[in-house]
Structure 1
Amino acid sequence: MAHLRTQIFDAVKTRLVAIQRFSDADKVVRGRKGAIKQEALPALTLTWSDSAEIASVRPSSGPNGEDGYDRSLPLSIVVHLRDNDPELEFDEICVEVEAAMGVAIELDGLVIEALLETSRHYVNPQTGTSLCAGTLNYRIAYKTLAADPQQSAL
């Protein structure tokens, strides 16, 4: 079994792959090893590498009084754009992603909540030209047992 964090990423990926434009293979990936081919755009990359996951001790959070952790996972959905109007394309994709995530705030009971914190369309600050990328940043609150990060805590 995987860390609960991986189970959470898998649940998010399942939601995003259900969006029609992202249903093809490699359209939604957790982390990428290389560039995305132009014909595969638009695409989404799931990551948490922009920020650290924060955890605090949660006493007596297991069925036998075990300690656990309250965790706060920063999950970024990187949007790779293709359209001639990237800002509009970003907003259209945001509508689809936010709707998919909004109907599953608890991600099938894996988390306490998955809330959108920020979104951003990236542009070159000197020219105002789109960098054809953006992010939707979610804060995922969840609990694990201290001795078993695969298990959700009470």
Structure 2
Amino acid sequence: MGHLRTQIFEAVKARLVAIPRFSDPDKVVRGRKGAIKQEALPVLTLTWSDSNEIASVRPSSGPNGEDGYDRSLPLSIVVHLRDDDPEVEFDEICVEVESAMGAAIMLDGLVIEALLESERHYVNSQTGTSLCAGSINYRIAYKTLAVDPQQPAL
């Protein structure tokens, strides 16, 4: 089954793949192993490598009084752009992603909430030229049992 974090990423991926422009294979991937072909753009990459997931103890989280963790997962949706007007393309994709994620704030009961935290379109700070990438960042609050991180806590 995998860590609850993996289940959360799969739930987010399912929401994003439902967006028509991202429905083809490899349009939404958790992490990438290599370069993206120009003709495949735009694509989305899911990651949490920009920041640490933090956790705090949650006493009596299981049905038998087991301890658990309150967790806060920083989930980034990296947007790889293609359009001649990347800033407008980024905004259009933000609308689609925010709509898909906003319709499922609890991700089918896996999480307490998935809240939009920030968005950023990346540009060369010296020239103002788009780097044809951006990120849509969410903070995912969820809870697990300490002895079994595959299971949500109460």
- TM range, smaller chain: over 0.9
Q: Does 1:87 align with 2:91?
A: no
Q: Alpha-carbon deviation of 1:33? A: 0.5
Which position in structure 1 is the counterpart of 2:71?
Answer: 71
TM, length-normalised to structure 2? 1.00
* Structural mapping, 1:136-147, within 5 Å: 136-147=136-147
Question: What are the ranges of 5 or more consecutive residues in structure 1 without an aligned counterpart?
Answer: none
Which position in structure 1 is the counterpart of 2:19?
Answer: 19
Q: Does 1:152 align with 2:152?
A: yes
Q: Secondary structure at the match of 2:66?
A: coil
Q: Alpha-carbon deviation of 1:138? A: 0.1
For 1:62 and 1:49, how far apart are their aligned partners in 2? 29
Question: What are the ranges of 5 or more consecutive residues in structure 2 without an aligned counterpart?
Answer: none
Q: Alpha-carbon deviation of 1:71? A: 0.1
Q: Secondary structure at the match of 2:12?
A: helix
Q: Secondary structure at the match of 1:61?
A: coil
For 1:22 and 1:136, how far apart are their aligned partners in 2? 15
Q: Alpha-carbon deviation of 1:3? A: 0.3
**Would you say how many aligned residue pairs link Structure 1 and Structure 2?**
154
TM, length-normalised to structure 1? 1.00
Overall identity of the aligned pairs, in %:
88
Backbone CA RMSD of aligned residues: 0.2
For 2:121 and 2:90, how far apart are their aligned partners in 1? 7
Question: Which amino acid in structure 1 is aligned with residue 94 of structure 2?
Answer: C
Q: Does 1:29 align with 2:32?
A: no
For 2:89 and 2:15, how far apart are their aligned partners in 1? 19
Question: Which amino acid in structure 2 is aligned with residue 115 of structure 1?
Answer: L
For 1:87 and 1:35, how far apart are their aligned partners in 2? 22
> After the TM superposition, which segments of 4 or more aligned residues of structure 1 sit over 3 Å from their partners?
none
For 2:77 and 2:102, how far apart are their aligned partners in 1? 14
